[in-house]
Amino acid sequence: MMTKEILEGINDQIRNELSSAYLYLSMSSYCEAQSLPGMAKWLRVQWQEEQEHAMKLFDYVNARGGHVVLQAIDRPPAKFKSPLDIFQQVLLHEQKVTASIHKLYELALKVKDYPTQIELQWFIKEQVEEEKNANEIVEQMKMIGDVGTPLIMLDRQLSMRAKS
């Protein structure tokens, strides 16, 4: 059985993952409206992954005999300054999620919840990949700018992202 603190922390992380999904879906919608279907697709795949992360934690809580209590999710922004702004926000958001997972892992260490430590190791590894991917896109966009042929080429490249 999980401690009350661990259960609350995981419930918070489920909210964080679902909030991330909601944000990425909003960003995807914006990109569609801006005729950037590749970026929209990339963000939709990201939306799907975040939902899967939430469900992984959801299933973990249930497997440990806990009870998931869903929390309210804030409405995400609907407008963005530019494609670069979107992916800078993705990177900042992923860094925020990483920090929340690290905090939860530190709690699992403190209370000696070994199963939760093992479960969270997967998320820690996943966040390294999430931040790397977002950072690469940000750096590429800084090099090419927000308009013209290079942006269209990057958009096409991002459209090739498959569900991982």
Cα distances (Å, whole numbers) of residue 128 to 55, 97, 113, 140, 163:
20, 11, 23, 18, 17
Instruction: Tell me the CA distances in angstroms from 144 to 28, 82, 88, 138, 153, one per residue in order.
Output: 21, 13, 15, 10, 10
- Measured distance CA(66)–CA(61) in Å, rounded: 5
Architecture per CATH, 4-158? Up-down Bundle (1.20)
Q: What is the pLDDT of residues 82-91, one digit of tens each?
A: 999 999 999 9
pLDDT digits 0-9 by tens, 24-77: 999 999 999 999 999 999 999 999 999 999 999 999 999 999 999 999 999 999
Mean pLDDT check: name the lowest of 36-45, 56-65, 109-118, 142-151.
142-151
Residue 113 has pLDDT above 80, yes or no: yes
Please choose, from the candidates 44, 29, 38, the residue with its C-alpha nearest in 3D space to the C-alpha of residue 152.
38
Domain ranges in the chain?
4-158
Do residues 2 and 111 make contact, with C-beta atoms less than 8 angstroms apart? no
Question: In the chain, which residue ranges form alpha helices assigned H by DSSP?
Answer: 4-33, 37-63, 83-110, 114-144, 149-158
Its pTM stands at 0.93
